[in-house]
Amino acid sequence: MLTSRIDNRRYSTSKTPKPLAIIQATSISNVRATILCVRRHDMRIRIRCGGHDFESIASVFVILDMLNFRKIKIDMSEEVAWVEAGASLGELHYKIAKVSKVHGFSASVCPEVCTGGHFSSGGYGNMIRKYGLSSDNILDAKI
């Protein structure tokens, strides 16, 4: 599980701190239970959606893996997309392109980056000057 992500090889070195646990959530109740348990035991939590990571790792931590949350629903009548945190940007761009030749989304061009991490860090991409950050285009979020 630690080395299952091709995007982040840092876990394969012996000096890198390893998580106490990796929780692969499959439902919202798994996410809630993980957060409550981590708080109760005074541990740090890291949310992983795709494996790309810029922040440093604490020594006592649990990884909450959101990769099972991959649903994407496109509603062209409202011109909105409902996207779960584990869906990749490549999947999002592909689903939009399947239903419209004129719509898109201001996001990174790196297809394997997942939306949860990308959006929570602002969402820098090539269309930023014209359409803003990805996070500027988010209308609602379930947290």
* Structural tokens at position 132: 């803003």
Tell me which of 12-26, 66-80, 113-127 is least confident. Answer: 12-26
Q: Tell me the mean pLDDT in the region 72-94.
A: 94
pLDDT score for 6: 46
Under 8 Å between Cβ of 21 and 37: no
Q: Tell me the mean pLDDT in the region 116-139.
A: 89
pLDDT score for 110: 85
The upper half-sphere exposure of residue 94, i.e. CA atoms within 13 Å in the direction of its Cβ, equals 10
Tell me the pairing of strands 61-65 and 21-24.
Answer: parallel
Domain boundaries, the chain: 9-65, 72-137
pTM for the full model?
0.76
Backbone dihedral region for residue 106 (phi beyond 0: left; psi -120 to 50: alpha; all else: beta): beta
Backbone φ and ψ for 128, nearest 5 degrees, come out as -60, -40
Residue 79 buriedness (CB in 10 A; 0-12 / 13-18 / 19+): exposed
Backbone φ and ψ for 104, nearest 5 degrees, come out as -155, -170
Mapped to the 3 state alphabet, what secondary structure does 17-85 carry? CCCCEEEECCCHHHHHHHHHHHHHCCCEEEEECCCCCCCCCCCCEEEEECCCCCCEEEECCCCEEEECC
* Structural tokens at position 104: 């898109």
Tell me which of 32-46, 48-62, 76-90, 128-142 is least confident. Answer: 48-62
- pLDDT 10s digits, 17-61: 778 888 999 999 999 999 999 999 999 888 888 766 555 455 568
CATH number of 9-65: 3.30.43.10
